[in-house]
Amino acid sequence: MPTSRRSFLAGAGLAGGLGVLPMSGLGATVATTAAQPDFGPKIGQALLSRNENPYGPAPSALRAITETAKMGCYYANRGLQRLTAMIAERHGVTPEQVVVGEGSTEILCAISLAWGREGAILCPDLFWDTTVLYGERQGVTSIRVPLAKDMNVDLAAMAAKAADGAALVQICNPNNPTGMLIPPEALRSFAAAVTPKATLLVDEAYNELTDRPEDNSMIDLVRSGKDVIVCRTFSKIYGMAGLRVGYAITSEANARRIQSPMMSFGGNLAGLAAAIASYDDTPFLDQSRAAVLEGRAMIIDAVAKAGLTALPSQTNFVFVKVPDADSLRDAMAEQGIAIRGAYGPWAAYSRVSTGRLEDVARYAAALPELAKRLWA
């Protein structure tokens, strides 16, 4: 599979022989006569703030969307059943152990409500907590545990808190926004310690981008009967963030519990068709991952050239240590480059996502200059 920027974009890769639209799968082709497109980056913008993968959806997914669009008048139940069966077969579980939702967000929100009725959600104080915040707005209680000094999830501190009324222990691995991976052996030991007291939820949205996806996953704990829920998404490596397909793998009893508060009915036909078509599309997945890894390497190289440091990342984003994240975000925005600002009190870290390689190149060129201007 091509790994250099030139060969990736110009060869038989995603922008060439496989037929993916040059800028992105969907957004770059719509609303072209408007001042700004309705979807995707603004005109001239390098969008590196949202952990999206602009090299998807796969050509196979795009063909499936086109072929099934005329069936959009029908509910998508059978497609939902087919995708559920495909996921179950790959991971060695029964279809009754799989829950498919409108993105993993819907599933995570449902878990927050279902378990939050029974007790608190124990979680790190810095992770992708949007769905926990959703639960809190509905009256759910959370117990937040500070990260360790090295910005890793403090598993020992969390295990010590697991008996404090927690019904659910939630981890994002690799973590967002830090990008850091909890070693699988450490996470399995943690699971053994906490699951007698509470259900362990592991959000593996970025698993396919890690160095050893199968080894880093906790799905084997589900197969062995542990009280564990693993969530995955088609938003990242599959490049389908806007098509909203995600899933959970857990016990049959937990699956029924998750489904109870879910709101969607039958699934999104376009998203399901795309997911079915691209789930086993190995050439696309290899090329998608190659683009992400090349973009990540470009960011890390730029960080070093700017005299900065970054946390080790196993995702499609990098958490860069800076004197002030908001000032860097604003300075990048002046050059049409969108990155994240401060995460609450973590103002000394700036998250930048991999995107189109030409956009990552803009960030890489700007970072040393802006670091010198802002903080020299």
pLDDT in tens, 136-146: 999 999 999 99
Domain with 98, as residue range(s), is 75-278
Q: Are 339 and 332 in contact (CB under 8 A)?
A: yes
Domain-ending residue, one of 278, 313, 346: 278
Q: Answer whether residue 69 is part of any domain.
A: no
Same domain, 222 and 114: yes
Domain end among 225, 260, 278: 278
Residue 2: per-residue pLDDT: 38
Residue-level pLDDT at 108 = 97
Q: Which amino acid does the sequence have at 37?
A: P
User: Strand, coil or helix: what is 166?
Assistant: strand
pLDDT for res 34? 60
Q: Does the residue 65 lie in any domain?
A: no
Nearest residue to 241 (alpha-carbon basis) of 71, 49, 111, 33:
49
- Residue 37, domain member (yes or no): yes
Same domain, 109 and 222: yes
> Which residue positions in the chain have pLDDT lower than 50?
1-32
Cβ burial of 150 (10 Å; 0-12, 13-18, 19+) is exposed
For residue 319, give the nearest of 180, 150, 172, 155 by alpha carbon: 180
Give the CATH number of the domain where residue 42 resides: 3.90.1150.10
Distance CA(299)–CA(305), nearest Å, equals: 10
Q: Are residues 140 and 35 in the same domain?
A: no
- Is residue 264 domain-shared with residue 360, that is, in the same domain? no
Same-domain check for residues 316 and 264: no
Residues 145 and 222 in one domain: yes
Q: What is the pLDDT of residue 24?
A: 38
Query: Are 217 and 244 found together in one domain?
Result: yes
On whether both 84 and 172 belong to a single domain, the answer is yes
* pLDDT confidence of residue 264: 82
188 plus 151 within the same structural domain: yes
What is the side-by-side order of every strand in the sheet holding 309-310? 309-310, 317-321, 349-353
Residue 13 lies inside a defined structural domain of this protein: yes
Q: What is the DSSP string of 117-144?
A: TTSEEEEESSS--HHHHHHHHTT--EEE
42: left (phi over 0), alpha (psi -120 to 50) or beta: beta
Domain end (from 278, 300, 316)? 278
Report d(CA 65, CA 71) in Å as an integer.
Answer: 10
**Same structural domain, 334 and 352:** yes
What is the DSSP pairing of strand 309-310 with strand 246-249? unpaired
- Residue 63 in any domain: the answer is no
Both 251 and 295 in a single domain? no
Distance CA 134, CA 138 (A): 7
Task: Quickly tell me which residue has 């926004």 as its tokens.
Answer: 177
Q: How many structural domains are present in the chain?
A: 2
Q: Are residues 291 and 214 part of one domain?
A: no
| Distance (Å) of CA 288 to CA 5, 177, 282 | 12, 21, 10
Cα separation, 125 vs 123, in Å, equals 6
Measured CA to CA, the distance from residue 136 to residue 151 in angstroms comes to 24
Side-chain half-sphere exposure of 269, counting CA atoms within 13 A: 12
What radius of gyration, in Å, describes the C-alpha atoms of the chain?
A: 21
Q: What is the pLDDT of residue 187?
A: 98
